[in-house]
Amino acid sequence: MSRIPDVYADLIAEGEALDSLVTRLGPGQWALPTPAPGWTIAHQIAHLASTARLARAAATDPAAFALMTTGAAEDFDAAVTRVLQPYLVGLPTALLTRWRLERAQAARALASLPPDQMVPWVARKLPAGMLASAGIMELFAHGQDIADTVGTRIEPTDRIRHLVNFAVRNWAFGYLMRGQTPPDEQFRFELTAPSGQAWEYGPADAGQRISGPAVDFCLLTTRRRHRGDLSLVASGPDAERWLDIAQAYRGAPGPGRRPGQFASSR
């Protein structure tokens, strides 16, 4: 496998790519409902802004981070809703400005740390570089919801490799969030990057495998597409089951997406 690019630079690039889409929105489009039940486009950007604020606090002020995430261990989803609400006050232009400021400050704070330096996060401590990867996951997932809402397509790049790394690292989340025990055997993941490169993870001799396009893997693990609308192949009963419950994030799985809901976008 080739050298993994700078995650901090790619976090900035992903933010700018989504910004270019959001900038083109008309004032009325910010109130459009997205595929995430109960969330408008404004909610999506408010969540990204509040998450960036948390990342900056995690990198610079652990005590402030702990205060901001009070109660998250007991009710993660309620904590997420609480921290995004202040960003919904005011006009869309104000929200866009705040999001730009928050993500720029978060990017600078993370980039000041070695990628392997541990920082606090909601579920457990993470290396700073992995937290940046989580930020790329957030931009990918919520950007997809926005793109689906306005009927456009986001062209994937090999920057999604950081999301893939994050999802593979946290492959057991789908089980844990449902109170289930993950299989003992580690899976093999064989994915094809947007550029055509082969990305491989896990034991080469593993009996359970997932293969297919890396972008489909990202859509699956962020629960932005139903497995039936993706070109992923599972080998082995546990891997087959995993395609139904895969998720790369902490928090309630939610209803996900319906089979066929976005089939025409492929």
Residue pair 238/185 in contact by the 8 Å Cβ criterion: yes
Q: Write down the mean pLDDT value for the chain.
A: 93
Confirm whether 2 is domain-assigned: no
Confirm whether 54 is domain-assigned: yes
- DSSP3 helix / strand / coil % (the chain, rounded to 5): 55, 10, 40
Confirm whether 133 is domain-assigned: yes
Quick one: tokens of 204? 């080469």
User: What residue numbers bound the domain in which 240 lies?
Assistant: 162-254
What is the tens place of the pLDDT at every residue in 143-165? 999 999 999 998 999 999 999 99
In single-letter form, the type of residue at position 258 comes to: R
Confirm whether 132 is domain-assigned: yes
Same domain, 129 and 30: yes
pLDDT at residue 3 is higher than 60: no
Confirm whether 190 is domain-assigned: yes
Same domain, 134 and 247: no
Share of the chain above pLDDT 90, in %: 83
Average pLDDT over residues 43-64: 96
Domain end position, chosen among 154, 189, 207: 154
Same domain, 26 and 92: yes
Q: What is the CATH number of the domain that holds 209?
A: 3.30.1050
**pTM of the prediction?**
0.94
Same domain, 184 and 114: no
Structural domains of the chain, count = 2
Tell me the C-alpha distance between 241 and 15, whole Å: 33
Residue pair 210/236 in contact by the 8 Å Cβ criterion: no
pLDDT at residue 258 is higher than 60: yes
Tell me the C-alpha distance between 187 and 201, whole Å: 8
Average pLDDT over residues 70-95: 85
pLDDT at residue 1 is higher than 70: no
What is the tens place of the pLDDT at every residue in 27-49? 999 999 999 999 999 999 999 99
pLDDT at residue 251 is higher than 70: yes
Same domain, 100 and 185: no
Q: Which residue has the tokens 């793109």?
A: 147
Confirm whether 1 is domain-assigned: no
221, 213, 263, 212: which is closest to 242 by C-alpha? 221
Dihedral sign from CA coordinates of 46, 52, 54, 60: negative
Query: What pLDDT sits at residue 2?
Result: 38
Same domain, 94 and 52: yes
Same domain, 130 and 203: no
Confirm whether 179 is domain-assigned: yes
Same domain, 78 and 179: no
Confirm whether 215 is domain-assigned: yes
Q: What is the CATH number of the domain that holds 129?
A: 1.20.120.450
Contacts of 124 (CB under 8 A, 6+ apart): none
